[in-house]
Amino acid sequence: MPRGNISKSDFSYSFFYSIDNRMQLPFFLAKRFVAGEDLAQAVPKVKELNNKGISVTLDLLGENVTDRETADATTLEYRELLDGIRLEQLDATISIKLTMLGLDIDTEYSRENLGRLLDKARELDQFVRIDMEGSDYTQRTLDLFFDARKKYGRHVGIVIQAYLYRSREDVAALVQDGADVRLCKGAYNEPSSLVYKNMAEIRAVFKEYASELMKSTDNTRIATHDDHLIAWTKKYAEENSIPKEKFEFQMLYGLRLSTCEDLVKDGYRVRVYVPYGTMWLPYFSRRLRERKENIWFILTNMLKK
């Protein structure tokens, strides 16, 4: 059963877009960034990271589900993933996308599905982070998050994208709430009316929001591979006597593992976001768009096959 459609706005590369609906690209292309096509394939990779002292966020790939049957099945699959984490004794939590739970179908319906998942998370003393998707979803995602926070407290967290102009106000509301926030730059192709495009500006607001969150909450997640921001975070924490247990660095599977290992050695908390599943194309295309060198990596691998 297909687990989602792919939005055109997600693609910079017409090559991928022209064949997206058939999803016929072979998995070996994605394996640098995606841990496997099912949980069984991802588990050994999670254990390997855990053995290095690195925690994991598991992400069952997919987005923009348009029928209830698929959204129901996905909700069930997420609940089973929480059971799987316990069974395998993984040091892992999960991340979800609300469009996988039916946000494109009906907001109330996705709220119910989120509730079903969070009931399970609370029962298992687990944690679910709601990833932030494109700007069409920002307000609804935050509304559903704040609503879920009232009922599920520390079992749910959210993501803020520093590139969005609106994030200053959202960060203030999240600080007030004491929320568990992952701060990232933002990965979607957004219009310049909504986002900063210039890297110096994005870094500046990233630092501003990170400092707001780090000084007022105990669980800021700094999600970046950017050496400049990593160094800044360490320095800011040191200068403001923020203990290493009170924040966490987060990176994506397949990127900068040695940096993660060095951070662990230096006593920092580190978590790697590990995606798996068959619906990897939108995620994979965002990773390529972020860094053109990755296209060479993929092409070289294609030629080796």
Ligand X SMILES: Cc1cc2nc3c(=O)[nH]c(=O)nc-3n(C[C@H](O)[C@H](O)[C@H](O)COP(=O)(O)OP(=O)(O)OC[C@H]3O[C@@H](n4cnc5c(N)ncnc54)[C@H](O)[C@@H]3O)c2cc1C
Q: Give the binding site for ligand X (CB under 6 A).
A: 131-132, 159, 161, 182, 184-188, 223-226, 250-252, 255, 273, 287, 290-291, 294
Residue 131 falls in the annotated catalytic set: yes
CB-based contacts of 91, cutoff 8 Å, min separation 6? 50, 55, 56
The residue with its CB nearest to ligand X is 225
Min dist CB 199 to ligand X, Å, is 7
Tokens of 3: 């687990």
- Give whichever of 3 and 97 is closer to ligand X, judged by the CB atom: 97
CA-only gyration radius of the chain, Å: 18
The enclosing H or E element of 85 equals helix 68-87
To the query of whether residue 291 is one of the catalytic residues in this protein, the response is: no
Least Å from the CB of residue 69 to ligand X? 26
**What's phi and psi for 291, nearest 5 deg?**
-150, 110
* Closest distance to ligand X from the beta carbon of 263 (Å): 13
Nearer to ligand X, 87 or 231 (CB): 231
CA atoms within 13 A on the CB side of 39: 19
Among candidate residues 129, 182, 256, 271, the one labeled active-site is 182
Q: What residues contact 275, with CB distance under 8 A and at least 6 apart? A: 33, 34, 35, 59, 60, 61, 252, 253, 283
Pick between residue 55 and residue 113 the one whose CB is nearest to ligand X: 55
Phi, psi (deg, nearest 5) at residue 169: -70, -40
Residue 63 has which token pair?
Answer: 């987005």
Quote the least distance from Cβ 241 to ligand X, whole Å. Answer: 26
Q: Which is nearer to ligand X, 207 or 244 (CB)?
A: 207
**Which one of the listed residues 10, 20, 131, 180 is annotated catalytic?**
131
Residues designated as active site: 131, 182
